[in-house]
Chains A and B, each alone.
Chain A
Amino acid sequence: MTSYITRRILLAIPVLIGLLVVTFFLVRLIPGDPCTAILGEKATPAACRSFDQRYGLDDPIPVQLVIYVKQIFQGNLGDSLQSSRPVTQIMVERLPLTIELTVTALFLAVLIGIPLGLLSARRHNSAADVATMTFANIGVSMPVFWLGLLLQYLFALILKDTFFALPPSGRLSAGVLPVPFYEVWGWAVNTHTMWGGFLEFIGEFAIFNAFITGDWHLLWDAVTHLILPGIALATIPLAIIARITRSSLLEVLGKDYIRTARAKGALERRVVAKHAFRNAMLPVVTIVGLQLGLLLGGAVLTETVFNLSGVGKSLYEAITARDYAVIQGFVVVIASGYVIVNLLVDISYGFLDPRIRYE
């Protein structure tokens, strides 16, 4: 088991290096040079020379790559070409929102998708099953951004002034200013240190921050702003999870050992809960892990529709502005996260199903 995990991690390293190198070159293939894109009319040849020198863009590309890799190991992702701020700083501000959004969506998808799938499989071919699967088929076919716009229309216009009204966009209501928990608790924090940066990062999780500081008004505001984007982003994964749960449970329920359990007189509830559920969950876990990629892609669209300044929107803006450093940093972090989550999913198989042999 340990040797399997070690081997798995070692195998992930070339993929991560590949991601890094591919991103590095892909970013430099984007047509148009950063200097003209960012300085605009002020981009005289002299200004561009000093700009390129300042950001190391006048070095040969292989040298740039070596410098970049060195920096990464020092926890430095370079400075944004646009705002001259460290990419890590931008990430501290933007990543928490996207994490909150994707985690909310994933929670919704799992908490609703799995029970729907189970229900559907247990009442195979019933009206509930047909309804669930119709819903699932429509769910996977819906454009995220369209669903987002429809939800805005429904909850912010049609249901306006009712109990169900929800804010159409933004992270918090206008005028609401969250105070980070370390300030509430009177800690002296220097955000330029590693530890301070980490605390700042944690403080940027609006929901979590409001919760631990006990600011219920702020918590409510943050949660209500995340509901619609969360639903929009969750719909496709929810439908996929419901379908996989259903087909997987149906397959397991057809196995011999289930028939044995039933023949022994076990209650149907017990057969499903004790004998079938765990085995049926294996493919579901894989799919949940894979949804992360889908969620991150969907986050770009959701953040655009709901006007949220998260990673997706920053990445999109960085691409338009040819901000190499930001694009690189974000893509490397996102892709590494994706590879690592899938690694964890693979490893978790062993704990879910001891029959799996790691050769």
Chain B
Amino acid sequence: MVKFERFTLDNGLRVLIHEDPATPMAVVNVLYDVGARDEHPDRTGFAHLFEHLMFGGSVNIPSYDSPSQAVGAQNNAFTSNDITNYYISLPAVNLETAFWLESDRMLGLAFSEKSLDVQRNVVCEEFKQRYLNQPYGDVWLRLRPLAYHVHPYQWATIGKELSHIENARMEDVKAFFEKHYGPENAILVVAGQVTTDTVKQLAEKWFGPIQPRGKYTRQLPAEPEQQEARRETVYANVPLSSLYVAFHGPGRCDQGYYAMDLISDLLSRGTSSRLYRGLVKERQLFSEINAYHTGSIDGSLFVVEGKPLPGTTMEEAEQAIWEELHRLAGEQVSVYELDKVKNRIESTLVFSEMALLEKAMNLAYFELLGDAENLNRELARFSNVSTQDIQQQAIRLFRKEISSTLIYLSDAHA
């Protein structure tokens, strides 16, 4: 149970407070309601590049990091297809420094050319390190455009290609800031050894004077229901062949999300899970196999990925995966097996309540989804999923006509 208070400033900034007197620390988490899905198709990777620029100095503070480090803080940020999230964790006695830093970069950035030059390079190196210079690193650069033809989920947060980042201009940076980084597009969470009164006072003092810049209304094209199975085969310089099957599934707030999440657990969470037990241990067809989903807001991709052993043909591998998926659609899972994955959800939730930053991030994310109070209803929502729900969701999910299959064939075995 994560208790919190919340209020909204006149400029539209939503503020949530979670008091946790057991820690000497405080966390200030700022979630901006913008992600890679809000980018122009010819300027992808921009939300993430922009996240880097948020550390390049603001209108009154030349450097974000130095004063942060000087008060013993640690900070970072991440960008997803849906959101951009910034956090700073510091000794609670220095809480006001976090308000000073975070409010100034919401007020205005320094827009330094030097920072843009350097961060373009840094992000290009990140692109190479994570996506291009790794075996299978470009999976998501291929899988997303295969599964999505219309919705901006068709590109990864890093962007479609290096040139989009190389071509980013200062005027794009300024326009992006105006459009997405105003107070009405943000959620501020303050957690730790703090009091609601102090936070109210500090929020009014530092964020209150920021003028609203207009709420961004998202109008993204919906992905039409996929009608035909898609596949792509890549011959690549990878040591082992690899297989990815992706399905369109419910979004984070949709009916069916919880059943889908439990299905991924049934398939591959823990060493007793169906895919690991069946296909790695018993039938010995794969060296590794996993099922997971993106949990995105405008619909998820549910992915099964595996590396077949050298003696397994790709056809056998695919068929074996489909057999396991059809088994979930064909016969109801037992109450015992469903309880098993629910028990793991319970302990994971308890565990996450021992981490201050995770609590703060979760509050911000659930508030974005509609109501932070729903964080405390998660366990009940998982508990309410029945064996019938699992079967119904599996039937909807595991259909050839909504699947996209990506195959890496190793040059070594070609």
Q: Does B associate with A? A: no
Residue positions of A touching B, CB distance < 8 A: none
Residue positions of B touching A, CB distance < 8 A: none
